[in-house]
């Protein structure tokens, strides 16, 4: 995954650690990085979840570490894909995304049959995170 940087070079996607307030490490955040001008930016598809997590932490958070892929499905897919390769290809990501959506839809049916509203809401959030990404591919 890559995009063009403002300097004209190609920015490659990497899973990086974001440090908030000098105390909180948020690991496995998908970030575009340019090796020429050192510009970095969070993938737009995960930015709402990252800013939401940071907002929950408040102004003076205690020292702690989070795995961003535990609260964002797209980041989790990228971590899974990166276990096999440093830079997963779009076919592999598409296949993993399709599998994850199918698994979540199966879980959604189970949660509905159990009338577990909290579980349904969690699954809907995860599906929403994946659909944000699929709109941009």
Q: Can you give the pTM of this predicted structure? A: 0.78
Number of other residues whose CB lies within 10 A of the CB of residue 74: 24
Q: Which H or E run includes 24?
A: strand 24-34
pLDDT of residue 85: 60
pLDDT of residue 132: 67
pLDDT of residue 135: 38
pLDDT of residue 19: 94
Tokens read off for 68: 């961003």
pLDDT of residue 137: 40
**Which stretches of the chain score pLDDT less than 70?**
84-88, 132-137
Alpha-carbon torsion angle 106, 110, 116, 117, nearest 10: 30
């Amino acid at each position: 995954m890559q995009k063009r940087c403002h300097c004209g070079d190609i920015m490659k996607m990497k899973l990086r650690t974001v440090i908030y307030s000098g105390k909180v490490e948020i690991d496995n955040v998908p970030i575009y990085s340019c090796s020429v001008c050192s510009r970095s930016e969070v993938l737009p598809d995960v930015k709402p979840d990252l800013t939401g997590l940071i907002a929950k932490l408040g102004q003076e958070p205690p020292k702690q570490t989070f795995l961003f892929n535990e609260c964002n499905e797209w980041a989790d897919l990228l971590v899974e894909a990166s276990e096999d390769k440093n830079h997963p290809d779009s076919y592999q990501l598409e296949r993993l995304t399709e599998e994850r959506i199918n698994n979540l839809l199966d879980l959604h049916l189970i949660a509905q049959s159990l009338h577990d509203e909290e579980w349904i809401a969690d699954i809907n959030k995860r599906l929403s995170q994946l659909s944000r990404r699929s709109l941009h591919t």
